[in-house]
Structure 1
Amino acid sequence: MQRPLVTLMLSVLVALVVGALAAAVAAEQTLTPAAVPSSFGHYQPPPTFTEQVTTTQYLPLRDGTRLAVLVARPARDGKPVDGRFPVIWHHSLSATQQDGDGVGPRKGGFASMPMLTAYGYVVVQVARRGNGQSFGTMRGYHDRNEAHDAYELIEWLARQPWSSGAIGQYGCSNTGDAAMHAMTVNAPHLKAVFAGCFSWNKYDAMRRGGIFAQWGTGPTRTIEQDMAVPPVAGDEEKVLLRQAAEEHMRGVPLFELWKSLPYRDSFAPSVQSTFWAEGSASSYKPQILQGGAALYIVGGWRDELRDQGLIARMNIPGARILIGDWLHCENEGFALVEEAHRFFDRHLKQIDTGIDRDPPIHYFVTGADEWRATSDWPLPQAPQVPFALAKGGLVQGAARGAALRQTFDVDYTVQPCAEAGSGSRVQPCHLSGQGLSLAGKVLAAPVEVTGHGLADLWIAADTPDANLFLLLEDVAPDGTIKVVTEGRLKASLRKLDQAPWALPGLPWHRAFAADVQPLQPGVPVRLQFDLLPTSYVFAKGHRIQFTFTGSDHRERARDPQAQPARITLISDKAHPSAVSLPIASER
């Protein structure tokens, strides 16, 4: 029996509507650059208050340790405004935002968060125990003492007469880690965290590839440096400040702690802990998920911790991330405070700011110079394309070309180039004549690399161990070489294992002491590791180049077992070596 005409037409109409909705959803999931919501980075509601007043005090914790607290409140006519406001706080290295506290002088970003008092927030700075004006002694870096301090502080902030009970937290670098650890203790009133450039797993971040070659090992300050910070109100003679500074001196130097922990399961007698696990947010993933605080991550394509933010987002459902072409904790050309404001308004004031309708990932494409948005990482449209190593250079595609067996010298006196920078901004750089460089053909069209490169290499050396560093480089027609990203691995820790958390298709090394596999003289071994992620366009006429070295100017406390005079890179039928890059197709 035939259906009535009206019923048939209705069915067709429903099918068209459903199809249109499906197409709209698909379009939203693969936004073109022009479709990025205009409120991203441009959230500018009018300010409510034009003044701010601050007070400082000491707050005693459960064990009697006194922490220094600075409270900034909205004000009118020089007096704090009555009422209850959401609170945003910062677990920092001082209560007065000194340049050495981890966010530095970058006033356009994290250091400018106190300006949010103009929009009806109370903004609080707290010096972590053993730092700044606070009393106490640091036990490592981001230990459970600090995490439990955060619980007390969050709940104290929620009880104050000027607090609405909705608490947010922010931070970058060491304070970004502190914010992540605050998420591990399930403080009932913590609702939202805005954190940048932190470690998801301390070992993978600070001994990446099993190699101690990092720019930072935390604060190590003298009494004189501690005495230079402004004191808490009532301590103008700095009597309490000196007492606190003297307590700080009993802390365990972070450089010595990390140097004593070569393996992921190493035990540190100085803190009586397998500290890589204790100090890693990844160890407390179940607690983070149970707590349910919203998370917004900030990263930079020229920051050593950029992979950590992407991995954290994969493991914390609902987390958001933005990554710019920035160095550590920087945000040049982007209104970071406005984006944080949009996030906090949504989760602390329950205002519809449009953020929930945005894809969770925003990233800047260097070379194309545009922001893009996506719901998926790795990008579905950026499959891994292998570049085989061959005599004479790189061959795109499956392993082929003339066999390669080339030995290069390792220079342990290598110094950074002028553009490497210093401190938290130190970068890898190409040093002419160092290591072994293999370049591909001149590009006939631009090539976009967005994601994590993967190295699958064979090497040999005459020492029990060797460190291999790999640089992905852009060679311009005039011969200028720019480092795009990097990867590395200690050969003795090459054994692969299954990571206990989600990864974006990356090889993972457990790196326990029991996993050590010493090299045999001249015997090839296979090294598989990832490159730090990037989003970069190689221009037409340029060439893609890989440079391999056995040392890095950032290395600290070198392992004598991993100092061969020469390393041999091998690529033949029995030992095919290649590096794969995630090459994005046209959208």
Structure 2
Amino acid sequence: MGRTHRSWRVGVAAVAATALAVLGAAPNALAVDTPEIVVADGVTQPVFGYSDAIRERLFIDSTFDSDGDGLRDIIAFDVMRPKATEDGLKVPVIMDASPYYTTLGRGNESELKVDLDGDGLLDKWPLWYDNYFVPRGYAVILLDMVGTGNSTGCPTTNANEDNLSAKQAINWLNGRATARNAAGEVVKADWHNGKSGMIGKSYDGSLAMATATTGVKGLTTIVPIGGPSEYYDYTRSNGVITRGNSYPSYLANIVTNPDRRDYCKPVRDQLALEDGDEHGDYTAFWNERSYVKKVKNQTASVFLVHGTNDDNVRADHFSKYWYALAEYDIPRKLWLNQTGHIDPFDFRRGEWVSTLHRWFDFWLHDIQNGIMDEPRADVERSANVFATYADWPVPGMTDTEVFFQPGTGGAGGLGLVPVAKPTTLSWQDSPTQSQNAMINNPDVPSPNKLAFLSEPLTAPLHISGTPRLKIRAAADKTSTHFGVILVDYGTDERVHHRGGNDGIITLTTEDCWGESSAVDDACYKHTQTRVWTADQELVTKGVHDAKNRQSIRNAVPLVPGQAYNYDFPLLPEDYVFKPGHRIGVIVVGSYPQYSSQADQNRANIDLALKTSRIVLPIVGGTAAAHAAGL
């Protein structure tokens, strides 16, 4: 049991005995009211203690054996709940399942789990969820994914063993599994109200999606922040390897406790053997690591957060999952921001805490606060300026074909009708061409790219959704890559998400969110959005292996000189091109800054101009494009 458990019960018993002795009453003569949450101004209030909250560490036998030692893995998790749960208070759970609690840490300040006094219970809890939500009538669980922290086994990088780790705790909360404490005593969750939510950024977010798509009963809502939803897309893109050198094995090593890395090497070796780095195609290895394909099993609502400039977990992870949620009519809400791989606590802190609080109150405490009647999507339009929309993509969006036009000098044009005469443009693939060389100086002729520029826009043009490149091209080799970049050419103040900081600056001042104990405070450093004035902005991009033109499951070599149709998506975006700016489309072969293994064939490529175009998801469709001067 928790360190405060026995002392609290003894204290209550002593007070009750004294009162009965004074009053001369029988033990059953006094009725004690069951504690309840307090709601004011539409939200739960901090009426329960933090320092005296019950803290426990529990262990569950899983249903799997990730390390092949013949024993089922044991999943460990830490629980904090209000002391009032010992007197009848029923509370829901907010869970963050993670592989990072004893290695890389969580949050902008890389907080780790810490047991200062060695009693087997946490003294320092990463992140602010415990400080804020426990006093408001929630329990918080921080769960160690299989093979990490105090759990046994070995990480498998989003395979079934990782994916099922948190499900064990959800089953225990709902009476379908047995948990024990360090002494081996069975512990029941008789304080639980039957509802649980999961939250987490990055890997933690993927574990929330993984758990939800099992359809496990009792998981009511999830809040994934920048989490991979299709692990193939985390290391591949349309057949192109974007993270090579056995990345799943590499990541499994990173998250494993250092003293277990040698032990888990055989598991990592098997990951490296099966990941398909030699071809980059989609296989059963990646199907196991897909949550998009399993959304049909899901019942939990979703509050999804993602950065459109996230180059770690790219934006197609949110979009593919979001489209699947819409297909199956899962209740959902979305925040899109212009920073990179950043938690909303560090780019929109006050609004985030307030909105998340209301979200959990609605889904876990059944408080009717109207949050589901509000606009579904918040999109950052400029630094710290958000607009709300009824849905995403923004209603009124229509996929609109914008054709490539011949030009003079280094760049062609863009227009809403194809060219009348067949025309061929040519370039040579360059596996060493930098992204800056691709984007800069679009008017200057280059042998290694094609550039197409609109005239300066006469009205704003809003895209919302997933653009696609559709081209007809022939190469003189049996293999080549294709890359495409959508660029906004025009001077503006922009979120500066380049340079490794993902668009924020961490300051020295701090503020506090929730209650603190003597060893665990609720205070975190302020951040601010990093901005700069720049003449251009990379809006979105895409890559494609020409051998995977028919399917990402099968690579078919090209016949040199034969023209093929290619159709592949760019990363999703929600972006407004301003009047006076020019839209640029850059088409290349290899894209070294997007791929880890650029094609080395240096193919000469011919593009058929008449049938080649980019499809833009324009709000207002062709009429809006005409109005903007396309």
TM bracket (short chain): 0.7 to 0.9
The answer (yes or no) to whether the contact 1:416–1:429 under 8 Å persists in 2 is yes
Paired residues for 1:281-300 under 5 Å? 281-288=291-298, 292-300=299-307
In the TM superposition, residue 124 of structure 1 has moved relative to its aligned partner by 0.9
Counterpart CA distance in 2 for 1:572 and 1:146 is: 47
Q: CA offsets per residue over residues 318-346 of structure 1, 9 Å max, x none?
A: 33131222312432125333322222211
Counterpart CA distance in 2 for 1:461 and 1:454 is: 21
Q: CA offsets per residue over residues 423-478 of structure 1, 9 Å max, x none?
A: xxxxx984666633221111122222222212111222222121111110011269
Counterpart CA distance in 2 for 1:316 and 1:61 is: 33
- Which amino acid is the alignment partner of residue 476 of structure 1? G
| Residue equivalent to 2:211 | 182
Quick check: 1:314 aligned with 2:326?
yes
Quick check: 1:482 aligned with 2:537?
yes
Q: CA offsets per residue over residues 27-56 of structure 1, 9 Å max, x none?
A: xxxxxxxxxxxxxxx986543345245746
Quick check: 1:128 aligned with 2:145?
yes
Paired residues for 1:127-526 under 5 Å? 127-139=144-156, 141-158=157-174, 159-204=188-233, 206-214=235-243, 217=247, 220=250, 242=259, 244-252=260-268, 257-260=274-277, 262=279, 266=283, 274-288=284-298, 292-303=299-310, 304=314, 305-322=317-334, 323-331=336-344, 332-333=347-348, 335-366=351-382, 369-375=385-391, 377-392=392-407, 393-400=412-419, 404-414=423-433, 430=439, 435-476=449-490, 480-495=535-550, 510-513=551-554, 516-526=555-565
Counterpart CA distance in 1 for 2:289 and 2:257 is: 28
Counterpart CA distance in 1 for 2:383 and 2:580 is: 14
Tell which deviates more after alignment, 256-265 or 147-156: 256-265
Counterpart CA distance in 1 for 2:354 and 2:248 is: 29
Secondary structure of the equivalent of 2:362? helix
| Residue equivalent to 1:92 | 98
- Which amino acid is the alignment partner of residue 297 of structure 1? L
Q: Identify if the C-alpha distance between structure 1 residues 211 and 265 changes in structure 2 by more than 3 Å, giving closer, same or farther.
A: closer
In the TM superposition, residue 258 of structure 1 has moved relative to its aligned partner by 3.3
The answer (yes or no) to whether the contact 1:129–1:137 under 8 Å persists in 2 is yes
Q: Which has the larger radius of gyration?
A: 2
Higher percent of residues as strand: 2
Secondary structure of the equivalent of 2:210? helix
In the TM superposition, residue 364 of structure 1 has moved relative to its aligned partner by 3.2
- Which amino acid is the alignment partner of residue 600 of structure 2? Q
- Which amino acid is the alignment partner of residue 88 of structure 1? I
| Residue equivalent to 2:589 | 550
Q: Identify if the C-alpha distance between structure 1 residues 105 and 481 changes in structure 2 by more than 3 Å, giving closer, same or farther.
A: same
Counterpart CA distance in 2 for 1:187 and 1:474 is: 44
Counterpart CA distance in 1 for 2:399 and 2:430 is: 32
Q: Which of 125, 128, 148 is matched with 1:112 structurally?
A: 128
TM-score by length of 1: 0.73
In the TM superposition, residue 387 of structure 1 has moved relative to its aligned partner by 2.0
Q: Which of 89, 103, 112 is matched with 1:83 structurally?
A: 89
- Which amino acid is the alignment partner of residue 214 of structure 2? V
Secondary structure of the equivalent of 2:275? helix
RMSD, matched Cα:
3.6
Counterpart CA distance in 1 for 2:282 and 2:166 is: 26
Secondary structure of the equivalent of 2:297? helix
Q: Identify if the C-alpha distance between structure 1 residues 442 and 569 changes in structure 2 by more than 3 Å, giving closer, same or farther.
A: farther
The answer (yes or no) to whether the contact 1:465–1:491 under 8 Å persists in 2 is yes
- Which amino acid is the alignment partner of residue 327 of structure 1? G
Q: Which of 575, 578, 586 is matched with 1:539 structurally?
A: 578
Secondary structure of the equivalent of 2:128? helix
| Residue equivalent to 1:506 | none
Secondary structure of the equivalent of 2:238? helix
The answer (yes or no) to whether the contact 1:67–1:129 under 8 Å persists in 2 is yes
| Residue equivalent to 1:6 | none
Counterpart CA distance in 1 for 2:241 and 2:108 is: 24
| Residue equivalent to 1:565 | 602
Q: CA offsets per residue over residues 93-140 of structure 1, 9 Å max, x none?
A: 1446x6455x55489xx943333223211111111112234221123x
Q: Identify if the C-alpha distance between structure 1 residues 578 and 556 changes in structure 2 by more than 3 Å, giving closer, same or farther.
A: closer
The answer (yes or no) to whether the contact 1:297–1:319 under 8 Å persists in 2 is no
Q: Percent identity between the aligned chains?
A: 22
In the TM superposition, residue 214 of structure 1 has moved relative to its aligned partner by 4.5
Counterpart CA distance in 2 for 1:64 and 1:177 is: 23
The answer (yes or no) to whether the contact 2:484–2:543 under 8 Å persists in 1 is yes
Q: Identify if the C-alpha distance between structure 1 residues 118 and 403 changes in structure 2 by more than 3 Å, giving closer, same or farther.
A: farther
The answer (yes or no) to whether the contact 1:106–1:330 under 8 Å persists in 2 is no
- Which amino acid is the alignment partner of residue 122 of structure 1? A
The answer (yes or no) to whether the contact 2:241–2:277 under 8 Å persists in 1 is no
TM-score by length of 2: 0.68
Q: Identify if the C-alpha distance between structure 1 residues 200 and 531 changes in structure 2 by more than 3 Å, giving closer, same or farther.
A: same
In the TM superposition, residue 397 of structure 1 has moved relative to its aligned partner by 0.6
